[in-house]
Each structure stands twice: as C-alpha cells, then as structure tokens.
Structure 1
C-alpha cells in the first residue's frame, strides 16, 4: 500500500526559469503550471507550462521528464488531446496558434501540421464522440472564453467563434480577485500600471472540456494564478458549443488554505480503471507571480451529474489505488500532520529566515541556512514520540538569480524575456529519525546521487517511532544555500482526538459568510467544509491557528451548509452540518 501514496505538491523535476522583466529584474525559480494529462497508449502524459517536454507515468505516482526539442518551449498552457488516434498539441501564443501532431512522443516526433486562424491563449481541443473537433480558448480580464468547431483536416474554424463564459463577480464570490477574496492593493509603478490595465477584474481562463454521458462540462479558471483562491469552475450543457448553464456548485476545484494553496487551470481525466482525477495549478508566487507547482486530486461526477474534487486535506498523503475506488472514502491512508509548529533548530540561519519558517505550514515562507556549504542541517522536535509513516521535504528557491548562469536562448515573453533551463538540478538530502535525539537512523539519503526532488515525499517501508527529525543537505541547485519551506512529518500521535466543534456565524452578503467556532482543546487545526446542499459539502478550507473564517467564495441566490472538523495528530473529529442564511 505504501508505494501507492503521493502528496501534493507533486514531486516533479520542475524546470528552472531564467526570467528578465522590466519590473522585477531577473528571477531564477522553478515553475510548472496549467497541466493537461492524457492517457495515451498505456501511459499517462502530463504537459505543463515551461517544461521543455512532458512527464510520463505508468501509475500517476512516479513521473519521469521526457525532453522535447520539437514543441515550443515557452508557449504557455500546453494542451494535448488524442485526436484521430494521434496526439494533437497546441499552446498559447501572442500571435495565431500552431498545431502539432505526434504518434510517438517518446521519439520526439512532434510535427507542426497546421497554423490556426485564431489567435488564442489557454487553448483546449476536444474531439466529440461523433469525431467532430472543437477548440476552446480564453485568458483575459475583459474577453470571454470562446469556442468554435474546427475542420479535422485543416484545423481552420468552421463558422464564427461562440462566446461561452464571462466573469460575473457580482454573483460569484469565488471569481473575485485577491487573496482570501479581498481586493489586493498594488504598489509602486508596476502597481499603477496594473490598476490602470486590469483594475480588480478577474482573469477568466484555462478552458477544458469533458463529455460524460450526454452532458458537456466546460471548465474554466479564475480569478488569477497568483492568488490562494485560484480555482476551477464549470458550465454544463447539452452540446459542445452550448448553450451552457453555470453550475452553482462551482468552483469544483478550490484549495484556498493549507501548506500550498490554489487548484486552478487544470484538466480532468480518467485513469486506466475509470477513476476520475483533476490535475491543477498550485501557487508559490514569491519569487514571481508565475512561480507555481502541480497538484493531483481525486475527482468524479455524483449521482446528479455534479463534477467534484475531494480536496479535504489535499496537501496530506493521498492513496492512488491500482483499482477502481471511492474518491471520498478511500483516498486517504489516515495519516495526520505531526510537525505543525514543531520546535526547529538548525546548524545556521540566514537573517530573516529562522528555522520556525520550516514548520509554519506555508510554502511561501522558508528557512535558509547561513552558508551554502553541504552539511548544513535542520532539526525538528515533535514534542512527543509518535508513529511516523512519511515525510515531505519541500525545498525553496532562495536568491538564485545571482548564482545561476545566464541563459543565452532568451525569447520574448508576455513581459520581458525568458528561457527554460533544460537540465535537472540536484536536491541532495539525508533524512534521519531519532527517539531521543542521540541515536539516529537514516531513512532517506540522496547525497551524492544528484537526484532532483524539490518536494521529496518519503514513505517509510515500515512505520517508525520517533520524536526528532534531522535533514542534512548535500548539493543544492546552482550551489545555493539549503532552503526549506516545509519539512512535514506525517503519521499518528499518541493523543486523544480533539472535541468536535459546532460552527456558527452569518451570511452577511450573498457572496460571503463569516464563520466562528470555539477552540477544541488539543486541536492542531480545522477543516471547513461547505456547499449548496447538506449532502454536497464539496468545498473545503484548511486552517491552522484560528477559530474564525470569512468565506467569500459563495454563489449568490443559493443556500449554503457548513461544517467545521477539528483535527490533530490522532485524526479528525467531524463537526455537525449547519445552514447559514
């Protein structure tokens, strides 16, 4: 069972970017986003922005990067579908798009077969059961997501584009911009430019189409990739070009809380067993807005045809069974977080990057060693001995622009210029466990291997009792300092479950509810679940160190039900469901 467990963000060999912009200068950081997964000839292929190739997997667990010199390296939001037995690839361009075809992607046989007569961003192609082919696109704060039928031979439009999805922030709280749905305050010259250009309008983008039975599910993302509220919503129709009705259960994919946030602009696909999954963009957005990662979530369609994702504890360990399974009851191994606010010490620390930042459950803050020498270490004291099943070591990209060599293959991008580093970079670590802080057992060691695992997820072959965890660095990317945004420990603690809590509050406007609950003694955090029916609490928001939450993602004109589950290292105490009008 242990070998079929993963943890978000997915541990992929995300490629480094060399970005030069007039606003922020040079940035060097990892990035991948806007993923499309296709099951082709017995393997899962994942295409993502800024990757210079694609990842492939037999099991959705272990992914290997396959380089490509044929597909465009810096065209955003690559879309790949199987069309007439071959892979059809396209991606965003400033000018009119291009279509590529492949029957053997591992041979890098992608061949440009046709230009598009449409200039598009965030494209998605879809071949219906009758063989007809459609294109959807859109990535704008003032233009809709549109669709059109394509000629299967020439890939030219058949008829005029049909506008399909536009923003409606007056009625859809989740489309509002800003972290936690609070409008951002932009500063400086760049802020003034953005205020004048965009204001507080959301970007409606990232179309993706699925057909299930006789229903067509046109998915889209908003309000912006740099926000913790980045999410995917859905329209449902009876035909590939509509008419469509907005699904009030939207957003079906949303992860505004926890260690890593965001779950927008992705794709929904079936595995070899018929299980549904949604793969989406998760944000870091510290070195640059487009600093992002990829998350995988169990998904499905309920008996009423509602598209959902199970995103409860969506950055905790998750099972990927090698069979058909229930995405609600069989997706978790039951392991809980043991390391939140664990006392952390280190061999040294850079100013402003103390060890405590490695246990605060935020990918956007990190501890940094005081030197770039191998051998620097970070140590956690869990406070009490516990049963450890798995660990996740999340590395951060700290001030690498001064260390990374400058790429000479820069190309024009949306703002400024950029290039993608083609090679892997080492993230060597040794992980040790101890009961007493004196005797240590090595449970993971990649020092000397040059392994590239920026979000290494380590499942122990057998559970171990431990109180202390030590991570020691070997070689790091570009010779930089050891920097960790989260050393996370999962397992079970020897403590009683916290008390269940009751949620209260009020819905003070059609898009927002203010929630409150009493603190549960022994609780580490709370998982807030909500939805527009008491049996469809399909949204969740994971919070720590607080007993209140303003939920601004509601759809006007619909009732909402809420529950708050308290949890600690022993497990989860479900809260009662309450309606707030």
Structure 2
C-alpha cells in the first residue's frame, strides 16, 4: 500500500472510532431550555398576543400606538375597542361602545385623547381615563375625503389633518380648527407616489384595489398605491 492510501485508511478508521464513541454516549437526562423574558425588553417582534375578552383578536390591521400618561395605547382597524400596556408585552383590552371604529386616527391634545375614522365624518374625544372606554362625539369634519386620516396636534396647539390613499392622488394636508374641527384654508399637496425614486413603491397591475379597475390597462401616468400617512415632529 502506498503512503497516501495508507494515510487515508488511517484517517477513516479514526473517524469511525470517534463516531462509535459519540453514538454510545446517550445523555441520562436532557436539559430543559428556558426562554428568558426581561421585564423591560428593548426589542419586540410580531406577532403579539392580543385578546378581546376571552377570545383572541382575529384582526389587527393598520395599528396605531399612542403613548399617553406613561402607558401605550394600541388601536387597530375594526371593532370598537383597544388595548393598553405599560411594557408593550402584556396588553389589556378595553371595550368602548362609542368609539368610532373603522380606519382610525388617534391623537392627544393636552390631557385628552381624540379619535376619528375615515368611515365617518364625526370626531370623538375620550371622557376621563381611556382605560374606562368612555368616548363621546365632540365635532364633525367639513369633508368625508380624509382617507387614512392622521390628525397631528402641534406643540402650539394647531391641528393638521394629513390624509391620502390612492394610486393617482397625492398625500395632502389641511389645517383644522382645534375646537370645531372645520378646515382653515385650502388643502395642500405633500407629494405623489414616485416609483422611480422609491424602491418600496412597486408598480404592478395587481395593485389596483376596486373591482371597476379590473381588466383594463395599467396606464403609465398612474402611480403606485400610497396610503396611510403618518407624521412625526423632528427638530421642530
């Protein structure tokens, strides 16, 4: 036998011996694996466990999280209720029969929470502690065109409404009276969709939503569908 073949034979023999020893060692008892959850975790991921009474929430689209008096309040599209938490891990459901429901916008002005829905023109405010679920109508918008509305109260008390959900129309903003919720001035264009500059805005014929858009050409002048504007104040 030549030297290379001899070395290969010795190597294979050693591997077989090691494998046999490893297989013969069976642990007497498997160790338990425990997942540690810190009380104040720094990161979170989906899904989170949400319940409505004794049942699990079936739908939680278009979530809004609002920090109010050191608690997080979670609002989602759908039923007349919401959740609160002090750690973003454990959530308590609040039934609110007079809450607007639908596709929501929620904003705080001073000590009061306000809410509206693109499914109606009414504005609601929370009476007392939001954990009690008491809301009442406090105003009415001039328009019902505020699709995917986002109310924004600035630090100076002024109220702005950002809105838009379309593949043709842009996001817009209009100032509202913070007491009557009526428009002050004319709506201003923020921006249109821009698939050439924004990689996350994809253009596909399947993006059309309404049935009357089906079975027709997707015209070049149409933009990707943009919706759900969300405003954060930065260095303002």
Normalised by the length of structure 1, the TM-score is 0.30
- Asked if the contact 2:100–2:115 (Cα under 8 Å) also holds between the matched residues in 1, the reply is no
Give 1:58's aligned residue: 86
Give 1:7's aligned residue: 45
Residues of 2 paired with 1:43 and 1:159: CA distance? 35
Give 1:39's aligned residue: 67
Structure 1 residues 198 and 11 mapped into 2: Cα distance closer, same or farther (>3 Å)?
A: farther
- Asked if the contact 2:94–2:132 (Cα under 8 Å) also holds between the matched residues in 1, the reply is no
Q: Which has the higher helix share?
A: 2
Q: Any unmatched runs of 5+ in structure 1? A: 16-28, 215-581
1:92-491 pair list within 5 angstroms? 92-93=118-119, 97-102=121-126, 103-119=128-144, 120-177=146-203, 184=206, 193-196=213-216, 201-214=223-236
Instruction: Report the structure number with the largest CA radius of gyration.
Output: 2
- Asked if the contact 2:96–2:133 (Cα under 8 Å) also holds between the matched residues in 1, the reply is yes
SS in 2 for 1:210: coil
RMSD of aligned Cα (Å): 2.7
Report the Cα offset of residue 201 of structure 1. 4.2
Residues of 1 paired with 2:134 and 2:211: CA distance? 43
Deviations 1:176-225 (A, max 9, x none): 145xxxx5499xxx8774344977742211111111222xxxxxxxxxxx
Q: Which has the higher strand share?
A: 1
Structure 1 residues 140 and 41 mapped into 2: Cα distance closer, same or farther (>3 Å)?
A: same
SS in 1 for 2:173: strand
Q: Any unmatched runs of 5+ in structure 2? A: 1-35
Residues of 1 paired with 2:184 and 2:134: CA distance? 28
SS in 2 for 1:106: helix
SS in 1 for 2:142: strand
Normalised by the length of structure 2, the TM-score is 0.71
Residues of 2 paired with 1:173 and 1:197: CA distance? 22
Residues of 2 paired with 1:185 and 1:158: CA distance? 34
Residues of 2 paired with 1:212 and 1:127: CA distance? 14
Structure number with greater CO (CA < 8 Å, separation at least 6) is 1
How many residue pairs match? The answer is 190
SS in 1 for 2:131: helix
